[in-house]
Chain A
């Protein structure tokens, strides 16, 4: 079954810690994306990558970092510089022409 796997489903972080959210796809898609979802805000783009070893900032990249060393993987690190990290994070991929496939998300809570 092709799809996107995000892990973990729930993540708790202490203030001041960095955490990394995993996103893996077996769809052979070139492009991958990270979105953040907050109540009443919709989904906002954090980072995206159109090709391996390249990525671009989205609308709200401050306090986040990514890497794209493999086509299948696009991990997101939420750093201690992110002032309000509690949110629902969604990863997506696209073949680059039409349509996105979304993962099931990771809910991050700062404790």
Chain B
């Protein structure tokens, strides 16, 4: 069965620090990869996604992620975080079977707290 691991449960950073959140998945085939963000009191929003092509994906609000197939990883990065980035971040994966997709499997999430 597929699974998604997010290494950090809670990350605390000061403003302007660099961010990297780890995500590893277990599935040997072709996958779609996603990072979602949930700001306090708000619903889930898509930050970025990878389906194919350039493994370095740029998303909204200055976030990017790199797909490293050999490491089964899709880590999220941001060079300089802001207080407004305080949120919970979820990595998600689904398998691709030809033109269709499997169910979306989520990691347990990483809470990011940015100190002003």
If over half of B's interface residues share one DSSP class (helix, strand or loop), that class is named, otherwise mixed; here it is strand
Q: When A98-B32, A105-B43 are in contact, do A42 and B107 touch as well, CB less than 8 Å?
A: yes
Please report the C-alpha to C-alpha distance between residue A104 and residue B105 in the assembled complex, in whole angstroms: 19
Residue with the highest number of chain A CB atoms closer than 10 Å, among B32, B44, B105, B109: B44
CB < 8 Å A-B pair total: 49
Set B44, B101, B105, B108: member contacting A41, Cβ < 8 A: B108
The answer to whether A33 touches B99, judged by C-beta atoms less than 8 angstroms apart, is no
Q: Does A90 contact B (CB under 8 A)?
A: yes
The answer to whether B101 touches A40, judged by C-beta atoms less than 8 angstroms apart, is no
CB of A78 to closest CB in B, whole Å: 19
Q: Does B70 contact A (CB under 8 A)?
A: no
How many positions in chain B have a CB within 8 Å of any CB in the partner chain? 23
The answer to whether B103 touches A45, judged by C-beta atoms less than 8 angstroms apart, is yes
The answer to whether B43 touches A102, judged by C-beta atoms less than 8 angstroms apart, is yes
Please report the C-alpha to C-alpha distance between residue A105 and residue B43 in the assembled complex, in whole angstroms: 7
Set B43, B100, B104: member contacting A103, Cβ < 8 A: B43
Chain B proximity mask over A13-43: 1 for CB below 8 Å, otherwise 0 = 0000000000000000000010100001111
Chain B proximity mask over A86-97: 1 for CB below 8 Å, otherwise 0 = 000010101011
User: Is the interface on chain A under 10, 10 to 19, 20 to 34, or 35 or more residues?
Assistant: 20 to 34
Chain B proximity mask over A68-111: 1 for CB below 8 Å, otherwise 0 = 00000000000000000000001010101111101111000000
The answer to whether B101 touches A97, judged by C-beta atoms less than 8 angstroms apart, is yes
Q: Does A63 contact B (CB under 8 A)?
A: no
Chain B residue contacts of A96, Cβ below 8 A: 100-101
Set B46, B51, B100, B106: member contacting A42, Cβ < 8 A: B106
Please report the C-alpha to C-alpha distance between residue A104 and residue B101 in the assembled complex, in whole angstroms: 23
CB of A92 to closest CB in B, whole Å: 7
